[in-house]
Amino acid sequence: MRGISINNVKKAFFAVLALGLFSTAIAQEGHPIKGSWIGEWQGNPLGTSLLMVMNWDGKAITGIINPGTDNLEIKTATLNPADWSVHIEAGDYKLDGKFARLELPNRSISGTWTGGGKNGSFEIVRQ
Amino acid sequence: MKIRSVLPWSLGALALSVTAAAFAHHPLSAKFDSAKETTLTGIVTAVDWRNPHTHVFMNVTRGNTVENWAVELESPIILRQSGWAADSLKPGDQINVSGMLARNGTRQVWGENVTKGGTAVYTVSDARPAPSTEPTPRWPDGTVALGTTGGGQDGYWSFPSETVMVEDGVNVPMDKYGLLTNVNDAAKVAPLQPWALGIYKLRQERQLQDDPMFINCKPPGGPRQFQSELGVQLLEDKENARVFALVGSGNRNYNIIYMYDRQTGLVTGDDDNPLYYGRSNGHWEDGTLVVNTKGFNEDFWFSNGGLPHTDLLQLEQRFTRTSKGTMEYSVTVNDPGAYTRPWTASWTLQWVDGEEMPVHFCQNNRQ
């Protein structure tokens, strides 16, 4: 197996950074939950990084948490436009949050999560 | 004059001009507050005659102090159409101004009424020329001409009878930029899904200041290109079976309407590289051009006033030239991502004969 050089790590880091900067500069004006979201859920023993990819098909919010080997399919997700609150269930996890900076492409959702006998706060920012 | 006395005025004028430029192109209501009116009397110090808005700078004396004010007016394109020129006002002229104050508290006013010696200056007439009732122009093969029939003629479509999109049959008060008089009327405008109604109301409550056409120079995709004050041109390329819809207000960008079922070539589908103007196929039905478009991205507002859409949006647009001077336009919006059912809005466009379409470029964002 080939080793991973520091240079390659640097390249990957800056590529991801550039992609992130570029994507935040582009507005997305459709359904507010659609897109890729990156953030943290504090207190989760599996790791604090939280990546969510969500879509809107016209009837339901679909998506996935932490795409990869430990991914979780979103079972149900709802958005209440009366107060811009969000409820998401995936695996044993339940997340309840609210939108902030809704008018901006890099809007965020923050709130609390429960699952696996644990709980904590979370915040994700749309990329 | 001492430099010390000139410096504050110069810095003040500079600050005003920078402030004006930083928020230069915008729906009127996003920048000015109709609930705060003022009147000013002063001396013109400069006229900045440039798109997207003309600015007249003036000194207003209050007691022992002189305040620098910026009076914002319509674009030179629109003022010129009403017969005005850059030198209609000159430095040293005494003027009276009344209008709305800027929301941000700076010394800026929207010049609703500007008078010099009791005579109105830089007024814009809403009156439009009467449309030609001459017969619909046709090509030698008898088909309807969407624009000119060649031979070096000029002309374009402008003066939309509606500059806002509302479902046919619905009457909801709003200004020409699409700002509702009463935001509680939002649900009447179109059959919005709950989330889309929430977004529409948010955009309204924020006075349309987030409009990406203004703050990011995004194109006026979809039906919005046919509600521009600066017009649109339909250029037929019969040899290559396509119609170009050239937009007067969107940096001279354009939509191509393919007059055949274009399924091959560079464009292979709707999921790859969605577009501001989508992908359009057109055909004729008894003298009406019917254009079906899909493949839109979500990076723009498709109407003045901020009605939301998703990438599921599909449009059927119908163009019927009923005379040389009038184009009947209707658009059926089918977006199951944002609306509960398809809905239709209609308006007319008027032919501007013998003139080139005005050129306006949105540059450096916000300008």
pLDDT confidence of residue B21: 39
- Among B211, B296, B299, the strongest candidate for a mutation testing the A interface, having the largest count of A CBs within 10 A, is B299
Domains, in order of start, for chain A = 28-126 (2.40.128.80)
Judge whether residue B266 has pLDDT over 60: no
pLDDT at A9 over 60: no
C-beta atoms of B337 and A58 within 8 A: yes
Higher pLDDT, A14 or B234: B234
- Tokens 């109604």 identify what position? B197
Q: What is the DSSP letter of B226?
A: G
| CA-based nearest distance B354→chain A, Å | 38
Do B317 and B329 touch, CB atoms closer than 8 A?
A: yes
Q: For strand A85-90 and strand A72-80, is the pairing parallel, antiparallel, or unpaired?
A: antiparallel
**Nearest by CB: A28 against B194, B197, B298:** B298
Question: Out of B25-34, B91-100, B223-232, B318-327, which region has the weakest mean confidence (pLDDT)?
Answer: B25-34
Contacts of A27 in chain B (CB under 8 A): 212, 216, 218, 299
Interface contact B299-A29, CB threshold 8 A: yes
Contact at 8 Å (CB) between B155 and B354? Answer: yes
Q: Token pair 């009076």 is at which residue?
A: B71
**Omega of the bond prior to B52 within 30 degrees of 0, cis?**
yes
List the single residue in A56, A79, A103 with the smallest CB-CB distance to B206. Answer: A103
Residue numbers in B near A61 (CB within 8 A) = none
CB contact under 8 A, B199 and A34: no
Contact B365, B216 (CB under 8 A): yes
The pLDDT assigned to A27 comes to 61
Decide if B321 contacts A14 (C-beta within 8 A).
no
Residue type, B173: P
Nearest to A30 among B212, B216, B298 (CB): B298
Q: What ipTM was predicted for this assembly?
A: 0.79
Chain centroid to CA B261: 31
Encode B21-50 in three state secondary structure: HHCCCCCHHHHEEEEEEEEEEEEEEEEECC
The distance of A3 to chain B (nearest Cα, Å) reads: 35
Give percent of chain B above pLDDT 70: 88
pLDDT digits (tens, 9 = 90+) for A44-58: 988 899 999 999 999
Question: Confidence band (pLDDT; 50, 70, 90) for B286?
Answer: very high
Mean pLDDT computed over B204-232? 90
List the domains of chain B with CATH numbers.
3-121 (2.40.50.140), 155-353 (no CATH)
Q: How far is CA A86 from CA A36, A82, B161, B170, B273, in A?
A: 15, 11, 41, 32, 29
> What are B10-66's pLDDT values in tens digits?
444 444 444 443 344 567 888 898 889 999 999 999 999 987 789 999 999 999 999
Cβ-defined contact of A81 to B300 (cutoff 8 Å): no
Q: CB of B112 within 8 Å of any CB in chain A?
A: no
Helix ranges restricted to H, B174-230:
186-189, 194-205, 212-215
pLDDT tens sequence across A11-48: 444 444 444 444 444 566 899 999 999 999 999 988 89
Chain A CB contacts of B212 under 8 Å are 27, 29
Q: Which residues contact B188 (CB under 8 A, 6 or more apart)?
A: B170, B172
Counted across chains A and B, CB pairs separated by less than 8 A come out at 51
- For the segment B333-349, the average pLDDT, to the nearest whole number, is 98
Tell me the pLDDT of chain B averaged across its residues: 87
Q: Say yes or no to pLDDT of B77 above 90.
A: no
Q: Is B342 on the interface with A (CB under 8 A)?
A: no
Residue B323 has pLDDT above 70, yes or no: yes
Chain A partners of B198 at a C-beta cutoff of 8 Å? 81-82, 84
Q: Are B327 and B216 in contact (CB under 8 A)?
A: no
| CB-based contact B197 A57, cutoff 8 Å | no
The beta-carbon neighbor of A56 closest among B299, B301, B337 is: B337
Residues of A in contact with B300 (CB under 8 A): 29
* Confidence class for position B328, pLDDT limits 50, 70, 90: very high
For residue A60, give both structure tokens.
């339901």
Name B311's Cβ contacts closer than 8 Å, sequence gap at least 6. A30, B274, B296, B297, B298, B337
Is residue B224 less than 8 Å (CB to CB) from chain A?
no
Helices of type H across chain B: 3-22, 28-31, 76-81, 186-189, 194-205, 212-215
Q: What count of residues does chain A have?
A: 127
Residue B47: other Cβ atoms inside 10 A: 22
Which residue in the set B299, B336, B337 is minimally distant from A26, CB to CB?
Answer: B299
Q: What is the share, in percent, of chain B residues with pLDDT greater than 90?
A: 65
Inter-chain CB proximity A81 and B216 less than 8 Å: no
The residues with which B316 forms a beta bridge, in sequence order, are: B292, B332
pLDDT of res. B178: 94
Answer with the residue of higher pLDDT: B130 or B203: B203
What's the mean pLDDT in B183-190? 97
Which of the four pLDDT bands, split at 50, 70 and 90, describes residue B230?
confident
Question: What is the rounded distance in angstroms from the CA atom of residue B358 to the CA atom of residue B365?
Answer: 20
Distance from CA of B297 to the nearest CA of A (A): 9
Structure tokens that stand for B67 in this block:
């305040």
